[in-house]
Amino acid sequence: MDSIEVAGLQFVKFIDQKQISLIVDRLAEDIKKQYYNSRPIVVIILKGSIHFASQLLLESELDAELVFIKISSYDGLNSTGKINIELDITQSIENRDVLIIEDIVDTGTTLYQYKMTLVDRRPKSVKICTLLMKPSKLQYPLEVSFCGLEIADKFVIGYGLDYNEQGRNLADIYQLKEE
């Protein structure tokens, strides 16, 4: 379906499964090269990154330790500007390579603030891999080492991304329809 209704809003298909797979294949190659002689701690941000992280890690066959965290800064369609860490890493990351996997970077608030809390714990490196990014919205000097696709400033759902907890399990990514 090219057009769907989710929680009362209209969305149109934007990135289909095939395109997503191509993007993930490329990122998997890049990550494999980056960590060929390391065993990174991979930090997966719940819930939006789950399909992306799962496909990416299977593709890359990365020898990694997986950690799940839960942080949020979004309420409905908008960023609140503050992060709320609901679930965090409990083990030591000192001297370890850390790779954060995120679904989408918008203002950068979530990852900029969260990355700071990791840097304080003296890891060897902290890198970010995101499926999508909205460069026109970025408000922080956030270095993103691996980015799947840069998109315009429009709200998207599907492939893990939700609108008020709906639409996460759509296999394609949809964009909010212009009025």
In the complex, which residues of this chain contact ligand 5GP (CB under 6 A)?
48, 73-74, 79, 102-110, 155-157, 161-163
Shortest spacing between CB 36 and ligand 5GP, in angstroms: 28
120 is catalytic: no
Question: Which position among 106, 120, 153, 172 bears the catalytic label?
Answer: 106
Angle 17-34/50-60 helices, nearest 10 degrees?
60
Nearer to ligand 5GP, 24 or 105 (CB): 105
Within 10 Å of residue 88's Cβ, how many Cβ atoms? 14
Asked whether 156 and 9 are in contact (CB, 8 A), the reply is no
Shortest spacing between CB 126 and ligand 5GP, in angstroms: 16
Shortest spacing between CB 107 and ligand 5GP, in angstroms: 3
> Distances from the Cα of 169 to the Cαs of 33, 49, 135, 166, in angstroms?
30, 11, 25, 8
Nearer to ligand 5GP, 42 or 96 (CB): 42
Comparing CA positions, the residue from 161, 173, 119 lying closest to residue 142 is: 119
Catalytic residues: 106
